[in-house]
Structure 1
Amino acid sequence: MLLNVVYVLAGLGGLFLGGNWLLKGASRLAASLGLPPVIIGLTVVAFGTSMPELMVSLNAALSGSNGIVIGNVVGSNIANIGLILGVSGIIMTIPIHISLIKREIPVMIAASVVVYLLAMDGVIGSLEGLLLFAGLIVFITVLVVLSLRERLKPDELRELKEEEHILGVINRPFEIGRLLVGLLTLLVSADWLVQGAVSIAIALGVSEVVIGLTLVALGTSLPELVTAIIAATRRHDDILFGNVIGSNIFNLLGILGITALARPLPVEPHLLQFDMLVMLGFALLVLPMALNRMLRRREAVMLLAGYIGFLLLAVVV
């Protein structure tokens, strides 16, 4: 038990350091390439911070722990909106980029609906996994094409560099290295944290599905949470919101798609009747906030309260 506690504490410390390095590398790399930070948030940061979910889900699927797989994805998506946007929105009012409203938020909602419909027969099979993964490839391709069109103008780039206090020529290899080291630190730290937390939960007799929805989902969402808190305190709101939306899309299309390709995923009735509906509800809650172009503190408190309520119900029910 003591070793597991050490794993948890070391994982938390590593997540903070990794999130800091990842955000610095991503934001400065975006400035040097002339790319809007929202694109970096939707791609490198979002997919990178979702790697813990992917590794945990693959390991769980191959070992037959299917409850952890889908519980992890569903719980992580709920945590991303309820916990991460909730905490970040309390720290600062978050403006929402117009491109997220037009493209990525509708994609996240559509992906949530598609996953729910695919799960209604009680299993997400290999063919359905292929469909989800193909959707991710299309999404990434569209993002790459749009990012080439949305490069910052010289005046905007100069302003961004001044805001970031970047003087002179940015060392791209160094920033790429910092970004990769941040990602690696996040992955290792998340693994330590999840290992320790799951071992403690099992020792206490908690069920596999509850572990997936709560401890594993919280643990694998911590990279996003740490990155979001750091982004909020440094006013990187484009990376912050893009990271959350991009991570949710990657969780639904990428993680469920890849794990279902590796092994068909049975869906427990409770997940279908309650938890996945909660996930869809949280995804829909983002829409009215996005239409107002702003996530305010009052709305953030409501998101966080809703997430705490979900956790209590998940444990009790």
Structure 2
Amino acid sequence: MFGLETNLPLAGGFILAGIVILLFGGDMLIRGAAAIAKRASIPPLIVGLTIVAFGTSAPELVVSVDAALSGAPGLALGNIVGSNIANVLFVLGLPALVGVIGTQAPGVRRNAVFALLAGVALVVVSRDGMIDIIEAAVLFALIFGFIGLLAFSAMGAKDDDPLLAEVAELEEAASKGSLAMTLVLLGVGIVLLPLGAHMIVMGGTAAAEILGVSDAVIGLTALAIGTSLPELATVVVAVMRREAGLAIGNVLGSNVFNVFAVGGAAGLAAGAAGVELPVPDQFMTFDFWVMLGASALLALWIFAGRNVGRLAGVLFFGGYVAYIAALWWMNPIQL
């Protein structure tokens, strides 16, 4: 379709355009939903723990679900694992080369532990080479346990978790817009998200076929980097404003949602289509361990009370470059 199967620049253009559409759609969906919640007098805590938290993972979620339903499971899982690796090594590593990212913000230690445990959970359910519908349901259920813990912590200890930091900005924006504009934002977001996701899946599978690599490689690289750009921009701005302590909490929270919400939803979508979500062999021998290693390294850094500064930046970003190089060395292009 559209000549994608034989035109690499066109396939790449579909991926790039899909990412742009996806990110705009996700932002509009969050702002529209938050504005409606504001008008309905829903407490900010609920807005932060549901609309904002789920909304920021909406791009990865719709891509993975579309990929699972379209017969591109490697793209679905590659998107999740690749995003989690990129969030730690790329999104934190690159900005740390020019500024310091604090690790003392509320909720950072807890989120670091949960990000590591989420990665372990993904490896456990993938151990037999498949994620069946029951395992997917367990993963998806765990996100509600995580949200419940955040709610309990926020109410009981006045803990301003980083996932809630966006609520004040969204509430301010919500108070300025009309109801009609709110509905337009929500509607456009709902339309753009699946459109962008489908373009990415079409472009990604075509590019993989042209390059002679698996669709998982496209998910682990181009798609993971593309969907991590908003987090990168957030961390860069936070470093420039010397407010990067909250940014690291958002990155860790995103990794938890990627595994539980996105991974669970992708597995459920595959199960609804009558198939299990297959796990490529390379994930069990390489990519999962890079993901767990990155999460463990960051957790150790945080519990040691050390900020993510230039040394960590060199270590993290250098590790990401090495990972991408190793990935392409293991999966040589065959034009």
Q: Which of the residues 221, 228, 250 maps onto 2:257? A: 250
How far apart, in 1, do the equivalents of 2:138 and 2:26 lie?
32
Structure 1: unaligned runs, 5 residues or longer: 26-32, 154-160
Aligned partner letter, 2:289:
L
- Of 316, 319, 334, 1:303 maps to 316
Matches for 1:15-164 after TM superposition, within 5 Å: 46-151=53-158
The correspondence for 1:274, drawn from 273, 286, 290, is 286
Distance 2:201 2:94 in 1: 21
Q: 4+ residue stretches of structure 1 with deviation over 4 A?
A: 1-25, 33-36, 42-46, 150-153, 169-172, 179-202
User: Closer, same or farther in 2 for the Cα pair 1:204/1:233, shift >3 Å?
Assistant: same
Q: Distance in 1 between matches of 2:231 and 2:198?
A: 14
> How much has 1:191 moved relative to structure 2?
7.0
Deviation at 1:19, TM superposition (A): 9.8
- Matched letter for residue 311 of structure 1: I
Q: Per-residue deviation at 1:21?
A: 9.2
Deviations, residues 144-179 of structure 1 (Å, cap 9, x unaligned): 2322345589xxxxxxx9xx9xxxx956523896x9
Of 159, 172, 175, the residue aligned with 1:173 is 175
1:302: Cα distance to partner?
0.8
AA aligned opposite 1:174:
K
How far residue 233 of structure 1 moved from its aligned partner, in angstroms, is 2.6
Match for 1:215: what amino acid? A
Given the superposition, is the C-alpha separation of residues 95 and 19 from structure 1 closer, same or farther in structure 2, using an over 3 Å criterion? farther
Contact 1:112/1:279 (8 A) holds in 2: yes
Long gaps (5+) in structure 2? 1-6, 33-41, 161-167, 331-335
Letter in 1 for 2:176: F
CA distance in 2, matches of 1:234, 1:195: 39
Judge conservation of contact 2:116–2:295 (CA < 8 Å) in 1: yes
Give me the identity figure in percent.
37
* 8 Å contact from structure 2 (residues 25, 189) kept in 1: yes
Deviations along 1:256-281, whole A, 9 cap, x unmatched? 11111123211122111111011000
Q: Name the CA distance, whole Å, in 1 between partners of 2:310 and 2:108.
A: 19
* Distance in 2 between residues matched to 1:241 and 1:84, nearest whole Å: 9
Distance in 2 (CA, whole Å) between partners of 1:237 and 1:180 is: 29
Contact 1:50 1:220 in 2 (8 A): no
CA 1:71 to 1:99, structure 2 compared with 1: closer, same or farther past 3 Å? same
Write out per-residue CA displacement over residues 35-79 of structure 1, whole angstroms, 9 at most, x where no aligned residue: 89xx95x86555333211111100110011111111111111000
The higher relative CO (CA closer than 8 Å, separation ≥ 6) is in: 1
Q: Deviations over 1:17-40 (max 9, x none)?
A: 889999999xxxxxxx9989xx95
Contact 2:204–2:219 (CA<8 Å) still a contact in 1? Answer: no
User: Which residue number corresponds to residue 243 of structure 2?
Assistant: 236
Task: State which drifts further: 243-252 or 213-222.
Answer: 213-222
State how far apart, in whole Å, the 1-side matches of 2:21 and 2:288 are. Answer: 31
Do the aligned residues in 2 keep the contact of 1:22 with 1:45 (CA within 8 Å)?
no
Secondary structure class of the residue paired with 1:99: coil
CA spacing shift, 1:171–1:258, aligned 2, 3 Å? closer
> Could you say which residue in structure 2 is the equivalent of 1:157?
none
Specify the code of the residue in structure 2 equivalent to 1:295.
V
TM-score (normalised: structure 2):
0.73
Kept after mapping to 1: 8 A contact 2:238/2:244: yes
Please list the CA deviations of residues 267-316 of structure 1 after superposition, one character each: whole Å capped at 9, or x if unmatched: 12211111101100001011122121421121012101101111111111
